[in-house]
Amino acid sequence: MDDRAAVLGLESSCDETAAAVLRADGTILAEAVLSQEQEHSPYGGVVPEIAARAHLEHLPRLVAQVMAKAGLGYGDLAGVAATSGPGLIGGLIVGATLGKGIALAHGLPFVAVNHLEAHALTATLPGIVEGAVRFPYLLLLLSGGHCQCVAVEGVGRYRRLGTTLDDAVGEAFDKAAKLLGLPWPGGPALERLARQGDPAKVPLPRPLLGRPGCDFSWSGLKTAVAHAVARGAATEQARADIAAGFQAAVAAVLADRAAHALAMVPEATAMVVAGGVAANGAVRAALSGAAAKRGLPLVAPPVRLCTDNAVMVAWAGIERLRLGPTDELGHAPRPRWPLEGMAA
């Protein structure tokens, strides 16, 4: 694949509507993301029907916008990549159908991108780190829907080392924030509140800390936050102390689980963190310390590429197109599509 070949990427798996155009050398020619936060905030979480309708309304406009900014016509593209799972099925259908339509109309290859693979491969995008990260590396995928430790051995070669036994870590942030009376999405709001608090003031449990393996569990920590709030969270300072204690507990557990995962991948060249929770400063600091103890760098995408975006989708499409085979236009979107077992 020529380094100057360009690919259009589409993302519509949850509540971000996004489009981007990338060259095969990793140059981002154009990108656009539309948040649906205002639409879902009154409900305290993502409403699938509202999300799908918003994607249907806005994605064609965003595609036209990034194509114009990139200065390209559809005939100039080398392919179209669209997130086809996992995610909310309504949004997946919108993005995948638009991507297939563009591919069919202009005789372009179509790539059905696994959303988790797009997160996993972001670290190999030139410019994220000098020369990009080399395989294999450890990936911590931390978002509202996923909490996994994965050995990334190559494009299409993933080995899950551990996962959550109950909730995803991003979901735990949102629920803890709701208990503290904070708006949705809860992660950023809780991090802001935690800056004013004392993490040692309200002792909270560290689930599975020190246990063998690298699985996670967050339900007990959420329950502990609920009890702490019930005991007394009448003042802003009390709420800040609980938020700081929760964030410190999450960071400590993630660092511990990551250290265990690294021991399972002795050949790892780096620790990579991706997903919305990767934007949290305390989490990044804790994981950086765990990686440094093994003499490895912590690689985290820029904050704008931590949450769902189309840059990572276009890049995953490029990596797949380098391998040759593309997907049929009859490829069906999948609400569940695990990374492990994917074939390159």
3-state SS assignment for residue 49 = helix
- CA 44/CA 143 separation, integer angstroms: 17
Q: How many residues does the chain have?
A: 344
Residue in 305, 309, 314, 327 with CA at minimum distance from that of residue 6: 314
Residue 142, annotated as binding a ligand: yes
Residue 317, annotated as binding a ligand: no
CB 86 within 8 A of CB 115: yes
CATH class, range 6-122+305-323: alpha beta
325: pLDDT confidence band, cut at 50, 70 and 90?
confident
Q: How far is CA 68 from CA 31, 34, 71, 82, 162, in A?
A: 11, 17, 5, 19, 43
pLDDT of 344 higher than 60: no
343: pLDDT confidence band, cut at 50, 70 and 90?
low
The answer to whether domain 6-122+305-323 and domain 134-300 are alike in fold is: yes
Residue 117, annotated as binding a ligand: no
Task: Kindly list the domain boundaries of the chain, sorted by start residue.
Answer: 6-122+305-323, 134-300
pLDDT of 263 higher than 90: yes
Q: CB count, 10 Å around CB of 217? A: 17
Q: What's the one-letter identity of residue 271?
A: M
Residue in 39, 121, 88, 55 with CA at minimum distance from that of residue 317: 121
| Sign of the four-CA dihedral 119, 124, 125, 129 | positive
Residue 191, annotated as binding a ligand: yes
pTM here is: 0.94
- CA 76/CA 206 separation, integer angstroms: 52
pLDDT of 129 higher than 80: no
- CA 332/CA 136 separation, integer angstroms: 30
- CA 32/CA 322 separation, integer angstroms: 25
CATH class, range 134-300: alpha beta
Residue 144, annotated as binding a ligand: yes
135: pLDDT confidence band, cut at 50, 70 and 90?
very high
Residue 167, annotated as binding a ligand: no
CB 184 within 8 A of CB 40: yes
CB neighbour list of residue 234: distance below 8 Å, 6 or more residues apart: none
Pick the more confident residue, 55 or 130: 55
Q: Which of 104-113, 246-255, 327-336 has the lowest mean pLDDT?
A: 327-336
At residue 38, the pLDDT reads 87
List, for residues 38-50, the tens digit of each pLDDT value: 899 898 889 999 9
